[in-house]
Structure 1
Amino acid sequence: TPGTYTVRAYSSSGGGYSSDYREFTILVVSTTDSDTTTGESRRVSDSMLDNIASYEGYVPQVSPDTLAGNIPTVGYGYVVSKNTTFYNNLTRSEAKAMLADTVNRGSYTTEINRFISSNGLLMSQCQFDALASFSYNVGAGYWNGSGNCYVRTVIMNAVVPPQDLSSSNPYGGKVTASTLPMYQDHSASSTQITTLKINTSVNITDYYRDSSTKQSWYKVSASGKSGWVRAGDVAFNSTSGLTHDLNYVDAYTFGSNLLDWHVAGGNCYIGLYYRRLAEAKVFSYGNYAEASPSNGNYKKNTYGYKVPSCL
C-alpha cells in the first residue's frame, strides 16, 4: 500500500542479534514508471541521485565552494553549516549515502511534496526528480512562494483543458509573461499576429498539444485579435474544477525559463546552464540518459529551448 513505513534494522554476529538498532523510513508509491502523474508524496530516484552526484562532483574533504561564496562543502555538494559536525575523508559510497539522506530527508523533497499537496498537483517521478535537482542546487523555497521564480508560474499555469472549451464557450484568462507572441497557428514558425503584454485579459477558446514535442498552445482572443499562444504563459482566471496535471506543462516554456537559472554570484556559468538543460530534459521527457554528464548529448540542446542571450 502506498505510504511511508518505518524500518528497524538490527545487526547479527554469530547467530545472535544486537539489542541496538537503527530506524529509517522507506516510501512506497503506487507506480514504478517515471511519467505517470499522481498526487502522492515522492522521493528522488536512484537515476537522479546518480546525476546529481555527477553535477556536484565528489569532494572527500571539506572544501570551499568558490561559486557560492566559499561556503564549506563535502561529499556531493553537502553544505557544512556553522557549528555542525562533519566528516572528512569520505569514501564515494559514504558521500553517496549522505547525498541520498540529505536530499530525501532535508527540505528539498519536503518542500516539493508540500508544493504537490498544497496545490493539488499531479506530478510524475521524472518531474519530481528534475525539481529535486534544481532545489538541491539553488534552494527549495521557490516552490512554496519564496522569491520570484517564473518556472513555478509556468508549472501552476498547467491544467487539463476543460472539455467544453470552445469559441462559443470561452474561458477567461490572463497573460503571465512580460511579452507573449500571438501566432496564426500553433507553431512559432507561423505568421506572428501581435504581441500581448503581461496581465492582458484573454478569452481561451481552443487547445493544442503536440504529444511528441510536449509543447502546448491555447487559441485566444484579445484586443480584437485572435491567434495561438504558448499555454505556459497563460493562466486561467479560475481553476476551480480544473486539474493541475504537470503532464500538461508546456515543455518549451518550462525549459526555456529554467535555463535562465544559470547565474551564481552575478556571473553566468556554462556548467549551470548544462545542468538546467539536463533537468529540463528529465522533467518533460524523462530523458535521464542525456541528463548524465557522461552522455555525448549532455551539452546538446536536444529539444530546442531558447538559449539565454548571455550564453
Structure 2
Amino acid sequence: MYKRLFEVLSIFSTIFGFVSIILFLINLISWGIIFLVLYILFNIIIILKDKKQKKLFILELFMSILLFPYFPLILFFHIKKIKPLYSPIDFEEGKLDITGNISFSSVDLAPFYIILKYGDPQQRKYVVRLVYNSILENKVDFIDGIELIRNAIKIDSHPDVVLYASDALTNLEKYLISSISYYMKNLNSLEDYINFGKYSYYYAKSGFLAGEHEKEILWQALIILRPSIETFPESPDLIFYTFKIMELLNEYAELENMLREKLNTFKHQKILEYAIFYYIKKRKPKVVQELVSLYMDLGFSPENDAIKFILGG
C-alpha cells in the first residue's frame, strides 16, 4: 500500500515541479508559486511517510530543493529497493543476473556533478551511492557513471568520500570482471553473446585497463563475437558491440567492409545511426550525406538527440 502511495506522490510531485517552472517562464508568478508550494508539500509528505527518511528530514528537504524538480523522480527509481541512503557499499551486492533488454534511461548527471562540487560530505556520498546503484540497474550509462565516480575521487578532499567512491569503483570493476567471466563460460543464447560483448566493451572503455591488458580483453571479445554474427546475422545489439570493439582495436578496414555488408542486407536503425556517427568521425561527408538520405527514406524516427540535430529536427 505504501509503495503504491509513494509512486503516486512522486509522480505528482514531479509534475508540480515541472509545471511551476513553465508557469514562472510564462510570467504566471502566482500560479508558479502555488505549484512550487505543492511540490514542496508533496515532498514533505513523502519524507514523513518513510521512517528511514524521516530521521533525515532536514537533509532530505534540502535535497528536494537542491535537486528541484528531479528529487521525487530519483526517489521513484529506487522505490523497489529502499535502503539506508548512506550505508557502506557491500562488495558482494553487485548483481550478475542481467537478462532483460539492453536499454538505458536518460538520466541527467549534471545535478550530481554540482552536488559533488558544492554539497557536504554526506550529500556527496549520497550521490556516489545513487549513481553506483543506477549503473547496476541500467538507469545510467555505465561509462558516464564510472566517470562521475572517478571524478569524485579526483576533486574531493574528504577522506570518507574518497574511500566511498574508491570502494564503488573497485566493486564496479569486480562486477565487470565477473560478468565477462560468467558470460564467456555460458554463451548459450543470443542474449549471452550480447552481454559478453557489452561488458567487454565497457571494461575496455572504463579506464580500469591500459595498454596490452586492454587489447587482450578486446581481442578476446572480437575472436568470440566475429563468428557469432554469422549465427545471429540480424541482431543489431550484437552487431553494434562488435563494431564498437573493432573500432577500439583500429580494425577500420574490416569494420567498414562488414558495415557496408550489413547496410546492404540489414538496414536496421541502430546500425544505420552507428554508421552515420562513425563516418562523421572519419570525416567522410559524402558518405554521411548518403546515409542520412537513406535514413530519411526508410522513415526512421530518431530518439537520439544528436541524430535529431543532424536531421534538422
Q: Which has the higher contact order (CA 8 A, sep 6+)?
A: 1
Verify same fold: TM over 0.5: no
Q: Considering fraction of residues, name the structure with more helix.
A: 2
Question: TM-score scaled to structure 1, two decimals?
Answer: 0.24
Question: TM-score scaled to structure 2, two decimals?
Answer: 0.24
